[in-house]
Structure 1
Amino acid sequence: MAVFAITYVYVSDDERLAEVRPEHREFLRGLHADGMLHASGPLPPTPAGEPGGALLVLEADDATDALRLLADDPMHRARLVAERSAREWVPVIGGFAH
């Protein structure tokens, strides 16, 4: 298994994002309890106007599998994720290092 940094870019719909957020977080807590998700948290909108999103760090066999693990994320299912990407990350120092 490898570690992947997943980034989400959310659509601009604060009301719907707030509505789905509790279910989204419960879904992620399940992945964490199963040992696949190491950490997650929001990426706030920037002062320059870049939209908000999220950063997730999880373990998977490959990038395709990493995104597949997140296919049932309520934010993704509700089409509130405008873009998402998975990139392998090789932590060498800190709590995520192997």
Structure 2
Amino acid sequence: MAWFLVEITYVQEKMPEVRPRHREFLGELAEEGRVAVAGPLGDGTGGITLYQADDEAHLKATIDQDPYLLEGVVAERTIREFKPVIGAWVPQGS
């Protein structure tokens, strides 16, 4: 499994209506252990999510089902693999 940091920029006028479905989608992934943390940026322009997936193709297949993407809220999306080495979420010896 690999970690991925995904940042999105919102289409502001569409975001409020779709937010409940987006949060439900992420909540289900969090229950499955696939989302470690997610939330909006402080300035309200977008959000960041830390995902765990088998690989980038698996991640893209998953996040392409996000209501934000499907309903046109995502103006821009970046995906970067992340390799955590220090922190409460990192298993000892990683």
| TM over 0.5, shorter chain | yes
Pairing of 1:24-39 with structure 2 (within 5 A): 24-39=22-37
Whether 2:53 is the aligned partner of 1:60: answer yes
Q: Distance in 2 between matches of 1:7 and 1:96?
A: 20
The answer as to whether partners of 1:66 and 1:86 remain within 8 angstroms in 2 is: no
TM-score, normalised to structure 1, is 0.84
Unaligned runs of 5+ in 1: 46-50
Percent identity of paired positions between Structure 1 and Structure 2? 38
Q: Which residue is 1:11 aligned to?
A: 11
Deviation at 1:60, TM superposition (A): 0.9
Whether 2:58 is the aligned partner of 1:75: answer no
Q: What is the SS of the residue equivalent to 2:84?
A: coil
Runs of 4+ in 1 over 3 A off after TM superposition: none
After superposition, the CA RMSD in angstroms is 1.4
Residue type at the aligned position of 1:5: L
Pairing of 1:39-50 with structure 2 (within 5 A): 39-45=37-43
Count of paired positions: 91
Unaligned runs of 5+ in 2: none
Q: Which residue is 1:90 aligned to?
A: 83
